[in-house]
Structure 1
Amino acid sequence: MAPRSYIPLAALALIAGAIATVLIIGEQRGADTDASNRGEPGDPAERRGALVDEIIFTDESDPGRLTALIEHGSHHLFTQGIDSATIFRQAQDSEQVDHFLSHGTAIELTLNPAAFEDEQRLNPFREPRIREALNRLIDRRHVAEELFGGLAVPRYLPINTAFPDYARLAETARSLELKYRHDPERAEATIAETMEARGAERREGRWYYADEPVTLTVLIRTEDNRERVGDYIANLMEDLGFTVERLYRTAEEASRIWMTGDPAAGRWHIYTGAWVSTVINRDIGDNFNYYYTPRGRPDPLWQAYEPTEAFSEAAERLERRDYTSVGERQELMEEGLTLAMENSARIWLADQLSVWPHAADLEVAGDLAGGLSGSQLWPFTLRFSDRVGGRVVAATPSMLTEPWNHVAGSNWIFDRMILRGLTDSAVLPDPFTGLYWPQRLDSAEVTVTEDAPVNRTLDWVSLETAETIEIPGDAWIDWDPEEQRILTVDDRHEDGLTARSRVVLHYEDDYLERRWHDGSQVSVADVVLPWILSFARADEDSPLFDPSHLPEFEVYQRNFRGWRITDTDPLTVEVYSDQVYPDAENLVAARIPAAQPWHVVNLGIQAERRGELAFSSSKADRMDVEWLNLVSGPSLEVLRGYLRAAAEAEQVPFEQALGEWLREGEAAERYRALDTWQQERGHFWVDDGPFYLHSVRPVEGSIVLRRYPDHPDPADKWLRFTDPRIPELEIDGPLLVEHGEDLELTVRITYAGEPYPDEEIETARFLLFDRDDRLALKGESEPDGDGQWRIRVPAEALETLGTGANSMELAVTSRSVALPAFATHAFATLPAGGPEADSQEEE
């Protein structure tokens, strides 16, 4: 133990971090006085692109310091959602700190269902009945209220309670939640019965198999509240008579055990997992396929999954959207939820409420699911409330965690958050509804076959149906690696081909006049190259082949039916697919081809072909070379060599196919621009977003983004998305109702104290449960004007409830916000005549 006169390590870290931050910020101030934190009063509509001049990202792994850092003015926001009730209270009590909440983080237990190689070791979770029984063993309310300090809500099912599908499936969801509610005695009986059937025996309260204690290894993440969850679960298993080994591990350490390790080796039984949805998912039908079947991921754990034939079929149909009506989808979803609970390869525990602290004078559009790190609108909405311009300092728990490249670079959420500030996507998701809005598109046309249940909400998309959709013979569908040419539908399908959907993308008039950050002009080749490269990386005979790319490519090929460019003035693209989505806007988003600066990607292509670098981590490990990094490390010197060679030869990748899409002299222009860029910036990251990557300093732990002044959009374009209008509910009604009377309830739906417009309410559905928690009645509330709604239950329906306590549950969904709002009203039914009648009958 250190002497008491020593300064605690936490205090040393605070001092060191503050000094580093001051040095970094001070250096930036000296380098560019225009990018100051002062900013100037002004009209955002008169500005282009970002509303602040500069963002400095600094390393900060201790969220406990954040409130003090914001109060002292050295930082403005944190890029990680906080799950600490203590820090939340600190933020609430501070006048200098504001916050918003997100709802997209799910906490669960991942179970190992494999048969162990060592046959003398029993894996209880090989048995679906034991996995299923865990749902009743765990007190989810305790997890949400005690372990997460109220910053979570109980969750039972593989659907987020804050997403639209939960409200659509409320009846089935509530039924399953009641079926699997906390019942430890029943859970213990089921587990004991199944263990004995497998040949285990309980001696003096401990389980044995083959005369050895049955030991469970609980793999516990240490960075957040999952450490408390892991200890809680381990205690429960010990109480049941299992011997428990607790492995406390960080994310990287745990990943090598549960995700990439062989589950049959038996190194773990339970892992404290968490998953983040970065956007509101309006269709979670593919969750079953992803979380419960070998088709979900190529990792060893997923290959150990053995869903029943019925569950596998339902999951695959939902992933393919293989249904012809909303009703059929609803039935498949209900079947999937029921079978998922019986399977229980995962035990869902809670939906975490993440707190995102920021300076009180800062505004930003956080996503209701993904918060700040998941928001795609943060670069367009980040601003000081009283001024235009200025510098923002953001603390992030991790950055440059993995190498950055456009093809298969870092997928860590904190790296992706920074990259979203550098990128300009063709469409952007509404942070409150999950529907997509156009950014670089003017409009889109969607045509689906008559059996495809697709709806349209926003006017920028048109929707039509057709009996059949014939694919034009000149549509591109494949790549010939030997002849280095694009193959058409006519080349591959002499008898023609049809699809379930056609999407026509109309880009902005000046889309091909835009510039990449290095000053080079955008061209059609930037859109065509990523598509060709995807085929080359799936070709076993290609030097670009990457086995880790195959699962993603196979999913793509399963539904892809061709695409073609029909015009370049403006750019117009048609895409054909057999996969559909419930929302036409999101169907469009899924069909947009990627756009990447072809001259930058080409340097990686040449380096991988010659075995010096690799786009993906998996291939880099297999080849024993560097994982391609465009912003730092040994890759930079390798790339400089390939840039010189490419510039001398005016090199074009896949030139036979791309050549026709290049402007005269484009290759020479591109490489000149890139050479100047990397000499000035020290890196090769070129993009087209509202910010450009000004500098990367891995040693100092900072990344600097600066406003790109030539961005085409007015800076106020997306400011309407900074305030989610989440409905607030209040139910008034009697607490006692006698038989023979109707039940009348008044519901007030408001926001910020004002009535919620009736036309913005999508549904206001009620469920009536009797004293045994059985669903007795369901229906829709009726609008009564000025934000008031009515629920009426006729006397004859109340008669079926008998006497005793009942509950009315209301779920309201808004067209403006996808997050459902819930309210409950408890009441009791009495015999006619009230309590006096009861006492007279008893006498």
Structure 2
Amino acid sequence: MLKGVVLGMSALLFVGVLAVALRPAPTDPPRQAPTAGNGLDESDLQGRRGAMVDQVVFTREADVGRVTGLIEAGSHQVFTQGISSPTVFNRLRDSLHTAYDLSYGTSSELTINPVGPELAGGELNPFHVPAIREALNRLIDRRYIAEEIFGGLAVPRYLPLSTAFPDYARLADVARELELRYAHDPEAATQVIHREMEGLGARFEQGQWWYRDEPVRLRVLIRTEDERRRIGDYIANLMEDLGFAVERRYRTAEEASRLWIASDPRAGHWHLYTGSWITIVIQRDQAEGFNFYYTHRGRAEPLWQAYEPVPEFDELADRLQRRDYATWEERQAMMARALELSLEDSVRIWLVDQLNASARAANVEVAVDLAGGLSGSALWPYTLRYTDRVGGEMVFGTPGILTEPWNPVAGSNWIFDQMLIRATQDPVVMPDPFTGLYLPQRLTAAEVTVQEGVPVERTLDWLSVDQAESIAVPEEAWIDWDAEAGRFITAGEKHPDGITARTRVRVTYDPTLFEQRWHDGTRFSLADFVLPWILTFERADEQSRLFDIAHLPVFEAFQRHFRGWRIVAEDPLVIEIYSDQIYPDAETIVAARAPTATPWHTLTLGILAEQRGELAFSSNKADRLQVDWMSLVAGPSLPVLERHLREARERGTRLYPEVLGEWLDDGEIATRYAALADWHAERDHFWIGNGPFQLHSVHPVAGSLVLRRFADFPDPADKWLRFTTPMVPELTLDGPMVVESARVAIGPVGNGPLAAGGGEGREEAEFQLSVTFEGEPYPQEAIEQVQYLLFDGRGELARRGQAEARGEGRWRIGLSAETLATLGVGANSLELAVTSRRVALPAFASHVFATVPPGGMEEAR
């Protein structure tokens, strides 16, 4: 059994205390949320639809040191890049003209090249050996990185679990044990590295490693734009101290991506890379992280294809990605084992979780995601506003614009490109920026049916959940695709004996859905929902001209759980989706299943261009065919797409008539192509969406881009303004510093040191927890649980249990004499994890106390 251990105070207080210390200064505008926004009357929003501002101009600005000055000068109102520099943060905090919002979803890690043992040029790659990669966990001082490099705006991270997301609190005892097992111990790490290097045939002479009479050389790929430059230098220094020759390769994001993502790792362009990831929404379930970060199924790039986890880890990662477990207890056991195996594998060394600040002018408000910050927020285009007026223009500074091509199939995945793209789209469900639970945007209802015993819970009342002994997939449901015939294959055809699924999701769309319009003025149709589904299958079919080998790993993972979908009704639109994949939250199941629309006429142009081998949706296929990676907004793709539009308009092109024919008549086809031609003639791009902003103009050379409010957006402007300040619990834990440990007998079986509960017998120590928000007691009904973990002086978990509620914002933990007796004499730690229903971030507090022998308290005086 894994044992719990004491984690350092900085990590425990990351959410609970650090967030309090960095709360916006008193000079910031008030954070309450009247319907129309601060300082606005209801009349200001009368009849206003969509965005609260008229225009947003994005300009390239990568120097975070200029942020405060540019906002103070009035040239910029918002910056998209999260700020983790203590110097810049302090300047931002102290300015009278700026404000900021905090987020917790960014992490830094060390990406490792695992191929070998020799690279293509015959050089030795030490990191082919898992034990050497594993030893790096003990070599690196994460606390130094968090406190010295990030100035306290980060906390140590050891695991592929964010310390700020729910799974970390759920698995707190497992996490603590692993964090102690891999604590900073450079001597132990050095011993392992020396043993394994000698096993590879290397020799250590005069402080230097040699292999075949050449120094063992490591290439450290170091990002230059942020604190990762200092992290890279720190890692390079450690490697040099171990006796390796080190080449430091300093690169920007685009330069580095050509090496660590685009190149074959066997070429040996790099050994270690200073990576970073941002989670744009709160992940309430991180089970699929193992599959993404450690197996070839994570991504199609060459690095991922070089991953070779041990069979047990590979199988666990795959099962967790599919949620192949029967009970919550089985899931937790699988997660615990996968965490152990991830550290033994260590193709990634997790370093820190960062605290990022999104900068804005003091008179600007916007809903920011607690994980993804401003750049990851799904609600930013719906909530961006001045506090004293409606309308107007804002200027955003962003480190990158059009970093990679935009297309709706396999275009840019860069965070700042995606931020702009999200403004032009309107999803059918929206993530709550504080809890990660999904809310309906274009759905009126969702019914989730799960197989009996499957662990799925519902939190919100806009959807329903029920159970069934068996869920049969209807024979007419579409489950596969016949590329040659251009039609879907039904479940009855593929499985004549029938097939079942673990889940069925029935979603009902807004009854006005087909009255809504795309940005070019054309109305929605069912073809906008069906064509993207066809493309999913076409791109995985080797007989199709749209086949893309880079799409296969994702499609194969999808195919392992997909069991079919069908259109139940068209007015209003009702769709059923069948799948064996589950998530703990029913809201997430709906978000993962509900089909979304893509304008069929713009998608058609891309399909025609790829079918003729002129452009490609994905970078992988573009490289293989030596053609341009398709972009609908800029560059050499535009003349190609323009030519296909002329031809499609002349011919009345209708793709896949066997399926789409019933929803596309000649009138709609002509109307769509004519509207798209007019749109392109006016704006010189083909990017059409249905979000609160439309892409007005693109200026790649100048490094700017303009979004304008979409006047025909269907929703009132104040629909999402209720999201302002997240109610992150603030904790104060009080209790005795010294406790007398009586010599008492331990209770019978069931009352051992790991038994859950408050303790048996007479209580000898009492601890009081205060839970507040902005000085007021935290509502008791908003607290999901207050869990405590009691650790003895050896760092072993002695007891865990639940605190006792004693009124609004007050909780109590009582430890019995029997419990105290199990601790022995010495220092102990009581740690609390508080989970709220208002925010998904767990809050932590810790109290250290000493147990002394009977009479020891008197003697100490």
Superposition TM-score tier, normalisation by shorter sequence: over 0.9
Which consecutive residues of structure 2, in runs of 5 or more, have no partner in the other structure?
1-38, 743-762
For residues 440-476 of structure 1, what are the alpha-carbon distances to aligned partners after superposition, in whole Å with 9 as ceiling and x for unaligned?
A: 0001000011132111101011001111110111111
On the 8 A contact 1:45/1:715 being kept in 2, the answer is no
- Report the Cα distance in structure 2 between the residues aligned to 1:496 and 1:683, rounded to whole angstroms: 47
In the aligned structure 2, how far is the partner of 1:765 from the partner of 1:204? Answer: 53
Matches of 2:535 and 2:726, distance apart in 1:
40
CA distance in 1, matches of 2:673, 2:108: 47
Q: CA deviation at 1:366?
A: 0.8
Distance 1:49 1:136 in 2: 52
Inter-CA distance 119–385: structure 2 relative to 1 (3 Å threshold): closer
> What CA deviation, in whole Å up to 9, does each residue of 1:368-418 have, x standing for no partner?
111111110101111111221111111111111222221222221111101
Write the mapping of 1:278-297 to structure 2, written as runs, cut at 5 A.
278-297=280-299
Verify the 8 A CA contact 1:831 1:837 in the aligned structure 2: no
Instruction: State the distance in 2 between where 1:45 and 1:785 align.
Output: 43
- Give me the whole-angstrom Cα distance separating, in 1, the residues matched to 2:290 and 2:46: 45
Matching residue within 562, 566, 569 for 1:567: 569
Check conservation: 2:40, 2:387, Cα contact below 8 A.
no
Does residue 511 in structure 1 map to residue 513 in structure 2? yes
SS at structure 2 position matched to 1:677: helix
1:631 matched residue in structure 2: 633
Query: Equivalents in 1 of 2:734, 2:411: separation in Å?
Result: 54
How far 1:690 moved relative to its partner?
0.7
Shift in CA distance, 279/45, structure 1 to aligned 2, threshold 3 Å? farther
Equivalent position amino acid for 2:71 in 1: I
- The match for 1:764 is 786
Deviates more, 1:483-492 or 1:812-821: 483-492
Question: For the Cα contact (< 8 Å) 1:42–1:388, is it kept in 2?
Answer: no
Q: 1:265 aligns with which of 245, 264, 267?
A: 267
Residue in structure 2 matched with residue 396 of structure 1 by the alignment: 398
Displaced runs of 4 or more, over 6 A? 38-41
State the partner residue of 1:21: none
Residue 50, structure 1, aligned to residue 44, structure 2 = no
Residue identity matched to 1:486: F
Q: Secondary structure at the match of 1:478?
A: strand
* Cα distance, 1:556 vs structure 2: 1.6
Instruction: Provide the rounded CA distance (Å) in 1 between the counterparts of 2:636 and 2:266.
Output: 38
| Residues 693 and 705 in structure 1, CA contact (< 8 A), matched pair in contact too | yes
Tell me the equivalent position of 1:447. Answer: 449
Aligned with residue 842 of structure 2, among 820, 829, 837: 820
Residue 542 of structure 1: SS of its match in structure 2?
coil
Residue aligning to 1:379:
381
Offset, 1:606: 1.7
**Structure 1 residue ranges without an equivalent (≥5):** 1-37
The 1-side partners of 2:723 and 2:838 are apart by 10
State how far apart, in whole Å, the 2-side matches of 1:439 and 1:643 are: 32
- CA 1:45–1:795 in structure 2 vs 1: closer, same or farther (change >3 Å)? farther
**Equivalent residue number for residue 504 of structure 2:** 502
The answer to which of 161-170 and 238-247 deviates more is 238-247
Match of 1:621 in 2: 623
TM-fit CA distance, 1:686 = 1.1
Distance, in Å, in 2 between the alignment partners of 1:249 and 1:811 is 40
Kindly provide the CA deviation profile for residues 796-830 of structure 1, in whole angstroms up to 9, marking residues without a partner as x. 11111111111111111111101111111111111
**Shift, 1:77, TM fit:** 0.6
Q: CA deviation at 1:216?
A: 2.0
TM-score between the two structures when normalised by the length of structure 1: 0.93
C-alpha deviation, 1:42, in angstroms: 4.4
Is residue 603–residue 639 contact of structure 1 (8 Å, CA) maintained in 2?
A: yes
Q: Aligned residue for 1:427?
A: 429
* Secondary structure, counterpart of 1:311 in structure 2: helix
What letter matches 1:408 in structure 2? A
In 2, Cα distance between equivalents of 1:632 and 1:311: 43
Equivalent residue number for residue 68 of structure 2: 67
Task: Give the RMSD, CA atoms, in angstroms.
Answer: 1.8
Q: How does 1:256-655 map to 2 (within 5 A)?
A: 256-655=258-657
How many angstroms apart in 1 are the aligned matches of 2:199 and 2:335?
Answer: 33
In the alignment, which residue of structure 2 is the partner of 1:831? 853
1:764 deviation in Å? Answer: 1.0
The residue number in structure 2 matching 1:161 is 163
2:833 partner letter: A
Letter in 2 for 1:53: D
The match for 1:142 among 141, 144, 147 is 144
Answer with 490-499 or 262-271: which moved more: 262-271
Q: Residue 794 in 1 paired to residue 816 in 2? A: yes
Give the structure 2 partner of residue 693 of structure 1. 695
Distance 1:213 1:668 in 2: 68
Partner of 2:108: 107
Deviates more, 1:120-129 or 1:406-415: 120-129
Q: What secondary structure sits across from 1:61 in the alignment?
A: coil
**Is the 2:652–2:666 contact (alpha carbons within 8 Å) kept by the matching residues of 1?**
no
Query: In the alignment, residue 611 of structure 2 is paired with which amino acid?
Result: R
Inter-partner Cα distance in structure 2 for 1:833 and 1:196: 56
**Per-residue deviation, 1:320:** 1.2
Q: Which residue of 2 aligns with 1:15?
A: none
Question: Does structure 1 retain, via aligned residues, the 8 Å contact 2:616–2:628?
Answer: yes
Distance 1:120-1:613 versus aligned 2 partners, 3 A rule:
closer
Asked if the contact 1:363–1:382 (Cα under 8 Å) also holds between the matched residues in 2, the reply is yes
Residue in 2 that maps onto 1:230: 232
Deviations 1:767-789 (CA, angstroms, capped at 9, x unpaired): 11111211111111111112011
Distance (whole Å) between structure 1 residues aligned to residue 635 and residue 309 of structure 2:
44
Task: Indicate the residue corresponding to 2:661 in structure 1.
Answer: 659
Whether the 8 Å CA contact 1:56–1:705 is kept in 2: the answer is yes
Deviations 1:123-181 (A, max 9, x none): 22222222212111111111001011111111000100011100100110011111111
Secondary structure of 1:665's partner? helix
Partner amino acid for 2:696?
H
Partner of 1:243: 245
Alpha-carbon distance in structure 2 between the residues aligned to 1:212 and 1:767: 52
Aligned partners of 1:42 and 1:387 also within 8 Å:
no
What is the one-letter code of the residue matched to 1:92?
A: R
The one-letter code of the counterpart of 1:559 is H
Q: Counterpart of 1:658 in structure 2: which amino acid? A: L
For 1:800 and 1:112, the matched residues in 2 are separated by 46
Aligned partner of 1:460: which letter? Answer: W
The more displaced of 720-729 and 740-749 is 740-749
For 1:777, the equivalent position in structure 2 comes to 799
Q: Is the CA contact 1:768–1:776 (under 8 Å) kept in the aligned structure 2?
A: yes
1:25 aligns with none
Paired with 1:520 and 1:147, the residues of 2 have a C-alpha distance of 52
Larger CA deviation: 655-664 vs 439-448:
655-664
Shift of 1:292: 1.4
Contact 1:102-1:353 within 8 A present in 2 as well: yes
**Alignment deviations for residues 41-77 of structure 1 (CA, whole Å, 9 cap, x no partner):** 8444642111111111111121211111100111001
Cross-structure match for 1:90:
91
Question: Please, which moves more after superposition, 780-789 or 613-622?
Answer: 613-622
Q: Closer, same or farther in 2 for the Cα pair 1:97/1:42, shift >3 Å?
A: farther
Deviates more, 1:667-676 or 1:87-96: 667-676
Q: Distance in 2 between matches of 1:669 and 1:743?
A: 77
Match of 1:3 in 2: none
Matches of 1:75 and 1:571 in 2, distance apart?
Answer: 43
Distance 1:41 1:530 in 2: 40
Q: Percent identity?
A: 61
Secondary structure at the counterpart of residue 482 of structure 1: coil
**Is the 8 Å Cα contact of residues 456 and 462 (structure 1) preserved in structure 2?**
yes
Report the 3-state secondary structure (helix = DSSP H, G, I; strand = E; otherwise coil) of the residue aligned with 1:195.
helix
| Aligned residue identity for 1:751 | F
The whole-number CA distance in structure 2 between the counterparts of 1:400 and 1:252 is 12
In structure 2, C-alpha distance between the alignment counterparts of 1:411 and 1:135, rounded to whole Å: 29
Q: Distance in 2 between matches of 1:663 and 1:118?
A: 57
**In 1, Cα distance between equivalents of 2:353 and 2:470:** 42
Which aligned pairs between 1:728-747 and structure 2 lie closer than 5 A? 728-740=730-742, 742-747=764-769
SS in 2 for 1:371: coil
What SS does the corresponding residue of 1:347 show, helix, strand or coil?
Answer: strand
Pick closer, same or farther for the CA change 1:683–1:120 going to 2, 3 Å. closer
Alpha-carbon distance between aligned partners in 1 of 2:860 and 2:204, rounded to the nearest angstrom: 50
